[in-house]
């Protein structure tokens, strides 16, 4: 199947700094990517839908000024956590549907563990 990568796989930062997480579709083009957040022992919660060439669509309750999403190309979406605080520590996961295959099956990245000290 198609592959989605994320970078970095883990990051530790100080409170108040910004962190950028990349999500790449390696062997297909993705006009849409999804960003999820997973708390320990809990489910994945959709944060936003990233759209290539246009603004991201944020879910209710997600601060768009804090979680900046840029979908600069058909294979790359970035999530920047600005002025990170300890409560932003979490596991961030992206996914992308491969619409070119005809099935629109979603493929998930391996996730990025963010720890804010």
Partner 1 sequence: GDSVTQMEGPVTLSEEAFLTINCTYTATGYPSLFWYVQYPGEGLQLLLKATKADDKGSNKGFEATYRKETTSFHLEKGSVQVSDSAVYFCALTQEYGNKLVFGAGTILRVKS
Applying CB under 8 A, which residues contact partner 1?
Answer: 4, 32, 34, 36, 41-46, 49, 93, 95, 97, 99, 103-106, 108-111
Task: Give residues with Cβ within 8 angstroms of 84, minimum separation 6.
Answer: 13, 15, 16, 17, 18, 19, 114, 116
CB of 17 to partner 1, least distance (A): 26
Query: Based on CB atoms, which residue is closest to partner 1, 78 or 95?
Result: 95
d(CA 116, CA 93): 17
Query: Based on CB atoms, which residue is closest to partner 1, 15 or 42?
Result: 42
Query: Based on CB atoms, which residue is closest to partner 1, 89 or 108?
Result: 108
Q: What are phi and psi of 81, to 5 degrees?
A: -90, 110
CB of 25 to partner 1, least distance (A): 13
């Amino acid at each position: 199947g198609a592959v989605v990568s994320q970078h970095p796989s883990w990051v530790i930062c100080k409170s108040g700094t910004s962190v950028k997480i990349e999500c790449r579709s390696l062997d297909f083009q993705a006009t849409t990517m999804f960003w999820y957040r997973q708390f320990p022992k809990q489910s994945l919660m959709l944060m936003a839908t990233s759209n290539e060439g246009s603004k991201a669509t944020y879910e209710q309750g997600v601060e768009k000024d804090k979680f900046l999403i840029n979908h600069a190309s058909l294979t790359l979406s970035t999530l920047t956590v600005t002025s990170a605080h300890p409560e932003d520590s979490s596991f961030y996961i992206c996914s992308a549907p491969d619409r070119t295959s005809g099935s629109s099956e979603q493929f998930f990245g391996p996730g990025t563990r963010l720890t804010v000290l």
